[in-house]
Amino acid sequence: MISLLIVLLGAGLVIALILGLRLHAFLALTGAALVVASITPEPLRVHSAARSQSVEVASFDPAARTLQPTKASEKTVRLPGEYHVLSKVGGAVDDAPICHLSSGPVGAIPSDILLAAGDLLVPSTEWAKILKTARQNPGETVAQGFGNTTASIGLIIALASVIGACLMASGAAERVVLAMRRILGEKHTSLAFVPSGFLLCIPAFFDTVFYLLMPLGKALRRKTGKDYLLYILSIVAGATMAHSLVPPTPGPSFVADAFHLKIGTMMLGGTLVGLVAASAGYAYARWANRRWDIPLRDEAESAPAEKDEGRPLPPLGWSLLPIAIPILLIAAESWTDQPGAHGLWRQAATLLGNKNIALALGAIAGLLLLAQRMAWNWRALAKPLNHSLESAGTILLITPAGGAFGFALRATDISGVVSSWFSGGHSWLLPAAFGITMLVRLAQGSATVAMITGAGIIAPLAASLPLSYHPVYLALAIGCGSKPVSWMNDSGFWIISRMTGMTESETLKSVSAMMAVMGFAGFAATMIGAWVFPCI
């Protein structure tokens, strides 16, 4: 119960600091992490540090002196062996009794040792290391979580921002949109915005893609004299779902790392669920367009980025390379990661399919594309790249701070507490992941912060539970939960409202409602996938 109270306090503190004191998300997450790490009692920290390396007792027969380990901890049994006993009901850690297990069945428990369900048997060889980890300074705990997250996803966020900047500044993004329009035809131009926004938002941030596509939507409204709301919602539908479901954007990258997922698995799952959700969003967009006529108002702001009208655009194949290279390399690494795979091809796939190497090669392709657009004037690349990296810098603070917060939450041993309450396939964890993320998004506005907070709470629980489905479904549920509900505390809400000229009420009943539809549609697809294809 203490673990649960600390977790609730930490999550509430994040929301209170952001909403009440208007603190930056980095400060709120870091501050909450320090508080959680400071107030977590030592026995909980020791249990948390020991859990992944210990034998957890599922049941104990005092007459036969035998124990049954939990299914999740069977692989940690080493016989014969010496173990320290950590009692579930507490007690002084330094007085933990030592239990010698024989080489027979898991049992032959010495007569002076009494065990109960939930107790941990910690290998004596790991005891000193576990105590050192559990007793480190709260500042060290937070720094370790911050550093681990930065090491895992920091580079891919920075490289993705470079790719996005190159796509926008070189005209490659516009070429992709025009190609989609030609494929689908002029009558279905609004539909072309959905896959275009989805594809372009994989390496770029939502606001950057929206700034690029919205002037095209306005131009079409002036040309046709109708369907302005349809163009707005179509752009949002594709871009916002990729933003929350497909790495290397920050939120999905963090969630994939929290659940120890391969980035290729998250990309595939996020794409499938994202396209289902975006299709539902487009269906709502067509319904809303028939119901409400939004005029193109003079006060609608134009994109802040400089436009170079009439400039020659790069060929489609070259335009797609910065996105296609990392996707294909990461996919190749996943495809060749099979039992028995070896040889030169496997070695090459392992090297080039590494997420950091693959994104770096994509960034090189983007830089060459932009340099060619700038007549090989390399100094001219500084302006768009500097702006992009400055924007990524904020994310590179928020995301590792979320990692530190999640690391501090895990040290409360919340996973062990919650896992003892439930049994079975734990399908309840999927709606919990969706609901918690949705509530955090509703409270503080940022989809990325909501995903970071949701993953920090759910990932420790999933790590200790015998899930009957692949953990990618939990990551997808969190991504879908970050969509409802976008309102006035969301910076994206104001970007869309001001740039399109819509009033607050118009934005709420159109954009915010569509995001809710997409979030629930994506979650429904996730639940069906976990039921029909549990082991992907």
Q: Give the span between the Cα atoms of 469 and 527, in whole angstroms.
A: 10
* pTM, entire model: 0.75
Q: What is the DSSP string of 440-491?
A: HHHHH--HHHHHHHHHHHHHHHHHTS--SS-THHHHHHHHHHTSS---TT-H
Chain centre to alpha carbon of residue 438 = 14
pLDDT category at 268 given cuts 50, 70, 90 is: very high
- 213 near 177, Cβ under 8 Å? yes
pLDDT category at 134 given cuts 50, 70, 90 is: confident
Chain centre to alpha carbon of residue 43 = 30
Q: Quick one: pLDDT at residue 299?
A: 46
Q: Quick one: pLDDT at residue 48?
A: 83
Each residue of 232-251: b (16+ CB within 10 Å) or e? bbbbbbbbbbbbbbbbbbbb
Query: Tens digits of per-residue pLDDT, 77-117?
Result: 776 778 888 887 665 666 677 777 765 555 566 667 777 77
pLDDT category at 426 given cuts 50, 70, 90 is: low
CA dihedral 436, 442, 446, 449 (to 10 degrees): -20
Q: Give the span between the Cα atoms of 435 and 8, in whole angstroms.
A: 15
Mean pLDDT of 152-156: 83
Instruction: Output the CA–CA distances (angstroms, integers) from residue 267 to 283, 366, 379, 528, 532, in the order listed.
Output: 24, 20, 34, 18, 19
Query: Tens digits of per-residue pLDDT, 211-239?
Result: 878 878 887 888 888 899 999 999 999 99
pLDDT category at 250 given cuts 50, 70, 90 is: confident
| Identity at 360, one-letter amino acid code | A
- 273 near 525, Cβ under 8 Å? yes
| Identity at 73, one-letter amino acid code | S
**Tokens at 296, concatenated:** 């193109």
**Tokens at 470, concatenated:** 């692949």
Instruction: Output the CA–CA distances (angstroms, integers) from residue 510 to 24, 55, 493, in the order listed.
Output: 28, 53, 11
**Tokens at 128, concatenated:** 């000193």
Q: How many CA atoms lie within 13 A of 24 on its CB side?
A: 9
DSSP state of 80: S
* Sign of the torsion formed by the C-alpha atoms of 307, 310, 316 and 318: negative
Q: Quick one: pLDDT at residue 205?
A: 78
Check pLDDT > 60 for residue 481. yes
- 247 near 266, Cβ under 8 Å? yes
Q: Quick one: pLDDT at residue 302?
A: 45
- 202 near 323, Cβ under 8 Å? yes
